[in-house]
Amino acid sequence: MKAMILAAGRGERMRPLTDHTPKPLLPVAGQPLIVHHLKALHAAGIGEIVINTGHLGEQLPAALSDGRDWGVRIVWSPEPPEALETGGGIFQALPLLGLEPFVVVNGDVWTDYPFARLPAAPAGLAHLVLVSNPPHHPHGDFALATDGAAGESGEPRFTFSGISVLRPELFAGCAPGRFPLGPLLRRAMAAGQVSGEHYAGGWRDIGTPQRLAELDRELGAG
């Protein structure tokens, strides 16, 4: 099973930290945020990882090279300066990801989620890891039914963690260019093709310098 880490975003809300450093390279507990993902994926037996790059993208391969220091093999998927959004970035990388389901992880979150528990072959087109709603996102993104189906409506509602398993078929009919992932997930949900799980462990959306500093203090204290 392969994985893709999304690392092409500009990180506007993280300025001025991201004026000179891509958000995934910002340090947390003494190492770049993205390295936490590399280590966790390696621990789960996922060794082939695609990483897209955009803003200050040349810094990522300069820092991580081919990934051998963390026991993985990184393949890079460079994007134009304006980046391709989540959907467009994944679509561009599909030839690198192959024909089987693959893991996707947002490069600007921190989590202790055990990637080994992800389904290697979800029944539908996507499987989403959902988390309890943080204070800055109280209404969540998607509902999770008792049978594990994820949808737009219903209760309880949770926040999308940025961790998922996707089938390449989710992108059927897409064309190269800039587009978001959300509409594709919602279309698949309407067809009953998205499952989900609620993870109650550690997770943080590193959306502001303040959240980054708080997480750094927490992990340092731990």
Residue 188 in 3-state DSSP? helix
Domain that holds residue 81: 2-221
Query: CA 200, 206, 211, 213 torsion: positive or negative?
Result: positive
pLDDT digits (tens, 9 = 90+) for 28-82: 888 999 999 999 999 999 999 999 998 888 999 999 999 999 999 999 999 987 7
pLDDT digits (tens, 9 = 90+) for 120-178: 999 999 999 999 999 889 999 999 999 999 999 999 999 999 999 999 999 999 999 99
pLDDT digits (tens, 9 = 90+) for 191-220: 999 999 999 999 999 878 888 888 888 887
How confident is residue 11, by pLDDT bands cut at 50, 70 and 90? Answer: low
- Structural tokens at position 119: 């389904």
pTM of the model: 0.94
**Ramachandran bin of 92, using left for φ above 0, alpha for ψ from -120 to 50, beta for the remaining angles:** alpha
Q: What total of structural domains would you count in the chain?
A: 1
In angstroms, what CA-CA distances link 59 with 6, 22, 115, 177?
15, 7, 26, 23
Q: What are phi and psi of 33, to 5 degrees?
A: -50, -40
pLDDT at residue number 218: 87
pLDDT at residue number 88: 97
* CATH number reported for the structural domain that contains residue 70 in this entry: 3.90.550.10
Q: What are phi and psi of 114, to 5 degrees?
A: -85, 100
